[in-house]
Amino acid sequence: MSNSLSSDPDGEVASDAEAEMRSLRARVRANPAPALVWVVGALVLVALEFGRILDGVLKLGVGLNFLFDGITTIPRWIEGNVAGFFSGETLSLVAGSLAHDLVGLLLLYLVAFFLRDYSPIGLDDLFEHDLSRRAQLYAERFILTGVLAVLAAVLLYTPVGGIVDQEVGAWVSVVGALSDLPTMTSREVIPNLGHQTQSGGWDGTFLGLEPKWAWAIRFALVWIYAFACFVWAWKGYNVYRNHYRELDWTPRDDTVRRFRNHYWGLFGLFVVFGFVVLALFAPAVSPVGAQEHIYEPNNHEFQHFDEESGEVVTVKHFEANLFSQSDNEQTIGPWSYDNYDRWMPLGTTPSGQSMLTHLAFGARTSLVIALSAVGIGVAVAVTLSLLTAYYKGLIDVVVIFLSDTIISIPALVLVMLILVVFQDSGHWLAEPMDGGLLLAIVLGFAYWPGMWRSIRGPSLQVAEEEWVDAAKTYGQTPRNIMRKHMAPYIMSYIMIYASLLLGGIIITVAALSFLGLGIAQPTPEWGRLINEGRSFIGGDSVHISTISGIMIALVVLGFNALGDGIRDAVDPEADIGDGATAGGGGG
């Protein structure tokens, strides 16, 4: 390993500035073997689940497209509302069109605001000028806004837009075809849904094994693969640290060492890792697919050996679910088959569906909502904390008033009020994930004040540091100062509070679904499972509520433990309150 400090002949310690300035690419070129070995291993892991990874990319693309479509409806919505204020047809048309164009340009300016720093061409490259730094900055943003407006007009009002749509559609079709490729843990490679034969064997399962053993093999491969990815990612960090990092030691080394010795944090990491794997590999972990078993049971069939007739018959999943319900009168408990030889590792629900399928896809639902809500809350909290710390004054007072107003209302009550308004009105935000997107947005809105208050103090401290004053003196823009010189120093606090808040959001989503205000059917959700099984707690079907409740409690405990571990690893002397814990209120 190369050192950043070297001794000269006189015994003086000098800084090897040239070595420090070397890029990572140059260091890899100098010693490519360790990096090459790691990259080859990573490519092998990707190839084993290539189809599943592409399927995730497609789902992400669908989500981004939905977000883009939602943003593009804002000008039309403003246009309709403005036009409604005027009685004359001509006047309303002109006012609405003007409002539409102004809002559209404002949105494009916001895009240009963020893209300007990544533009390869500046105003200095176009022509000579005597503009001040601030005037040049605004001029470049306005020019970029104009370019974006012209590009949008070309896409909307010329055949170019149709050609681009065709090209994008073609590439999406290619990626969709590749996403259908079987993977190591796919149900096509290791099927477990089959039927018995007259001789007592099994047909349609992996290697003719009994369904429970075929499922167990696929289940084990999922965890082996996930653990291999985790180990290989850790090996990648060690390869970088041992072969390509310029410094022998960084503060991150002490952070990692403290976390590795923090057993409570490691327990949390283990639980959260299991939760994430369950969510990401839900189709492989489930004994029966969600599409045919939960979403469209009346449109999918499977074969079953009828012992009375001695023949193999075709049965719809909907019919099989009706006769496999766990309702105390009949119970399909854990580690058993239902009445149609479908393997149920955790039993069935009151609707006759697989508990494990519900829990796996419910974990995916909870993870998407929690990450989205925390992402929204973090974005708002970080932006406002940097703005209030940098500018202070009136903007600080306004944000304090706004946050205090939101915090004064209990978070659960605030979320319930907003959900009822949007759901009853049939708003388009309530459609994705049967209310999941709406719930994520509402939770992000409800929890950002607590996170903002938690990081406001560190932001104010950073704003008073000497390097921030030096950056102001050298004429850097406020945005660059906040992004480069302030934001990195509050990221550790963001990590701590975000990890603690994730558990709180998961239990809030479960509570709302339990009350019938969260995720609607048929999208799986853990809280609704508890509600469906609570009337059977005193009978034989106690597993429905018990297993779901244990899963919720364990995952929330895991996130809180992980947050404690990150806090103690990042700053052992930190004194962080409970404002962002799972049991926190509006903040």
pLDDT tens for the chain, residues 1 to 587 = 433 333 343 343 334 344 444 678 888 999 999 999 999 999 999 999 999 999 999 999 988 888 888 888 889 889 888 888 887 788 888 888 899 999 999 999 999 888 887 777 776 667 676 777 778 888 888 989 999 999 999 988 889 989 999 999 999 999 999 999 999 999 999 999 999 988 889 999 999 999 999 999 999 999 999 999 999 999 999 999 999 988 888 888 999 999 999 999 999 999 999 999 999 999 999 999 999 989 999 999 999 998 888 899 999 999 999 999 999 999 999 999 999 999 999 999 999 999 999 999 999 999 999 999 999 999 999 999 999 999 988 999 999 999 999 998 888 888 888 888 887 777 788 888 888 988 999 999 999 999 999 899 999 999 998 989 898 888 788 888 998 889 988 888 898 888 889 999 999 999 999 988 889 889 999 999 999 999 999 899 999 999 999 999 999 999 999 999 998 998 776 544 444 443 333 43
Task: Calculate helix-pair angle for 491-514, 436-463, nearest 10 degrees.
Answer: 150
Structure tokens at 177: 């075809």
DSSP state of 538: T
* Amino acid identity, position 139: A
CA distances from 94 to 153, 170, 307, 379, 513 (A): 19, 38, 74, 36, 46
Structure tokens at 176: 């969709």
SS3 label, residue 316: strand
Structure tokens at 315: 């049965």
363-543 carries CATH number 1.10.3720.10: yes
The structural domains of the chain, with segments of one domain joined by +, span: 32-180, 187-249+292-352, 363-543
**Please, what's the b/e burial string for 50-82 (b: 16 or more CB within 10 A of its CB; e: otherwise)?**
bbbbbbeeeeeeeeeeeeeeeeeeebeebbeeb
Q: Please state the separation of Cα 67 from the chain's center in Å.
A: 14
SS3 label, residue 409: coil
Rounded Cα distance between 81 and 92, Å, is 10
Q: Which residues are CB-contacts of 166 (< 8 A; sequence separation ≥ 6)?
A: none
Give me the pLDDT at residue 13, please: 35
**Please, what's the b/e burial string for 501-513 (b: 16 or more CB within 10 A of its CB; e: otherwise)?**
bbbbbbbbbbbbb
Rounded Cα distance between 238 and 232, Å, is 10
Give me the pLDDT at residue 22, please: 61
* Amino acid identity, position 259: F
Nearest C-alpha neighbor of 459 from the set 401, 375, 390: 390
* Amino acid identity, position 157: Y
Q: How many other C-beta atoms can be found within 10 angstroms of the C-beta atom of residue 292?
A: 18
**Please, what's the b/e burial string for 230-256 (b: 16 or more CB within 10 A of its CB; e: otherwise)?**
eeeeeebeebbbebbbbeeeeeeeebe
Task: Name the residue with tokens 């070297």.
Answer: 6
Give me the pLDDT at residue 579, please: 41
Beta-strand pair 13-15/5-7: antiparallel
Structure tokens at 187: 């149900």
SS3 label, residue 14: strand
HEC letters along 557-571: HHHHHHHHHHHHHHC
Task: Calculate helix-pair angle for 491-514, 526-533, nearest 10 degrees.
Answer: 30
